[in-house]
Chain A
Amino acid sequence: ETGVTQTPRHLVMGMTNKKSLKCEQHLGHNAMYWYKQSAKKPLELMFVYSLEERVENNSVPSRFSPECPNSSHLFLHLHTLQPEDSALYLCASSQGATRFGETQYFGPGTRLLVL
């Protein structure tokens, strides 16, 4: 397996469910990111994990909870979601921080539908 992988690719869940999204990068990178992609909106950065820091977008609701057990794996735990949370969730990784001009490499995304 190469690049950035995400599982599952599709997920349908009810508002009372708890589920987790998984991301794995096979590039030896040091930073990982979660983005939310909704139609007609710019990609929204949700969370950043790197060796130096964890950064959160303060507008992300607490029903989204990230976990980064090591530099290769990133999870997004979901609970009591709302229908407006339906979107494509993209994971990305980079060798270093974007302030050094580093490229982010994206996974294929998880298409989430909340009923």
Chain B
Amino acid sequence: AQSVTQLGSHVSVSEGALVLLRCNYSSSVPPYLFWYVQYPNQGLQLLLKYTTGATLVKGINGFEAEFKKSETSFHLTKPSAHMSDAAEYFCAVSRETGNQFYFGTGTSLTVIP
């Protein structure tokens, strides 16, 4: 079965510091990979996704993620955190069969002024 692991349910960074949110997946076949953000009382919004091609993917709001097949990882980074980045972040994968996303349990990001 497909699974997604997000290390650290809570991450705190200072404003202006590097943001690193970790995501590892289990799959024998490279899947499609996604990062979503959820602000309070809102639905999920796509930050970025990897399907094929360049392994470094740039998304909205200055975020990027790198697909590393050898490490089965798709970590999310941002060079400089803003207060507005405080939210819940979800990693998700889908496979080349079926019609389903598999989500991680989420990482809550706090940005300290």
Contacts and interface: CB of A to CB of B under 8 A. Distances in A.
B105 A50 contact: no
A104 B101 CA distance: 9
Given A42-B106, A98-B94, 11 more contacts: A6-B43, A40-B9, A42-B4, A42-B105, A43-B103, A55-B99, A97-B99, A98-B32, A101-B51, A103-B49, A108-B41
Interface in B3-32: 4, 9, 32
Contact of A101 (B32, B44, B106): B32
Interface of A: 4, 6, 31, 40-43, 45, 48, 50, 53, 55, 90, 92, 97-99, 101, 103-109, 111
Contacts, number: 65
Contact of B46 (A40, A42, A97, A103): A103
A90 B43 contact: yes
B104 A101 contact: no
B96 A99 contact: yes
Contacts of A4: 43
A25 to B, nearest CB: 12
12 contacts: A42-B105, A55-B99, A55-B100, A97-B99, A98-B32, A98-B99, A101-B32, A103-B34, A103-B46, A104-B44, A106-B43, A108-B43
